[in-house]
Amino acid sequence: MKVLKNEKILITGPTGQIAFPMAVELAKDNEVWGIARFKDQSKRERLEALKIKTRAVDLANADFRELPDDFTCVIHLAAFIGPKPNFDRALTVNAEGTGLLMSHCRKARAFFSMSSCSIYAPPQDPRQPVKEPDAL
C-alpha cells in the first residue's frame, strides 16, 4: 500500500470523528493543516499540540487569506449539518464553499471531497429515495 509522506496536506473539519484520527495519523509523516470554525478553542489547541497547523475558516464566508494555497493534497470532510433544515446555508457551505476551496487549492495534485446522504433527514419509508428538496 502506498503511504503519504512528506506532503503538505489540508484537512477540513479536523475536529470531526472521521477527520480527526486521519489528521493525527497523517501528521506523523506530513505537514498537516486543518481548517474549521473552531468555536471550541480547546479542540484547536488539541490539534496544534499534535503538530497540526490550524486556521479558523468558515466555508460560508470562504475567506482564505490566512491559508496557504500550495497544498499537495486536500481532504475535504467538513460539512454543514444544522439542527434545523436550512437549504440555503447548506448550499452555501457544502457546495459553494467547496468550490471556492477547490479554486483556492487548485495547485494541489489531489482534492478528495467526501459527501454523505446523512445531511438529509431520513425518510419515514427507507425505500423512498432522497431528493434534493427533501429536509436536511
pLDDT at 119: 64
The model's pTM is 0.84
Contact predicate 128/91, CB 8 Å: no
**What pLDDT was estimated at residue 118?**
62
**Residue ranges of domains in the chain:** 8-116
pLDDT at position 75: 98
pLDDT score, position 117 = 57
Instruction: List the grid coordinates of 12.
Output: 477540513
The second-level CATH assignment, the architecture, of 8-116 is 3-Layer(aba) Sandwich (3.40)
Strand partners, 16: none
Q: Could you list the mean pLDDT of each consecutive 10-residue stretch along the chain, which spans 136 residues? A: 91 95 97 96 98 96 94 94 81 92 97 76 83 78
Residue 106: exposed, middle, or buried by beta-carbon count in 10 A (0-12, 13-18, 19+)? exposed
Q: Please spell the DSSP secondary structure of 58-110, one letter per residue.
A: -TTT---TTS-S--SEEEE------SS--HHHHHIIIIIIHHHHHHHTTT-SE
**3-state SS class at 4:** coil
**CB-based contact 7:31 (threshold 8 Å):** yes
